[in-house]
Amino acid sequence: MFTVSHLHPMLVHFPIALVSVGFLLEISYFFCKKEVCLTRAGYYLLIIGTLAAAATWLSGMLFTSEMEGSAGQIRETHELFATVTLVLLLIAASIRIYLSLKKKEDNKTLKNMAFVLYALATVSVFITGFFGGTLVYNYMMPL
């Protein structure tokens, strides 16, 4: 039977996959500048990954149970990195959307800032996933 507590575990893999593949495409663009489709695909995956991260963060905040002890401490760390990931993604996506809408994609400063934030968000989503996996596998806690 499906309950809302299943929503977070169902959604959690989308931001990990979308953000990491999108960032890999952005890195690939740096090595092959003439393939603009790489950065465009990275842009779209950033937007979709940000939306997926927001939905996942919200489902974690609303539908997961409280934990105590060392599992509770790990959950707090998991929540902290999830929030950091979401904020970084929102800022990076906002910058990229601004550049796209204003046709200023040649602005190196803002584009590089968005790239660095995307990189930090990618690392942060991996850390978030590590702590989430620790909760599930080491403490047998469903998220």
Contacts of 93 (CB under 8 A, 6+ apart): 46, 47, 50
Tokens representing residue 119 in the block: 């990189």
**Confidence (pLDDT) at 95:** 98
**Confidence (pLDDT) at 141:** 65
- CA 44, CA 16: separation in Å to the nearest integer? 15
**Confidence (pLDDT) at 5:** 81
**Confidence (pLDDT) at 142:** 57
**Confidence (pLDDT) at 118:** 98
Of residues 15, 25, 17, the one with CA closest to residue 82: 15
Range of the domain at 42: 4-139
Render pLDDT for 100-109 as a digit per residue (tens, 0 to 9): 999 998 899 9
Task: Render each residue's pLDDT in the chain as its tens digit; 143 residues.
Answer: 778 888 998 999 999 999 999 999 999 998 988 888 999 999 999 999 999 999 999 999 998 888 899 999 999 999 999 999 999 999 999 999 999 999 998 899 999 999 999 999 999 999 999 999 999 999 876 55
**Confidence (pLDDT) at 2:** 74
Q: What's the structural domain count of the chain?
A: 1
Tokens representing residue 44 in the block: 């779209």
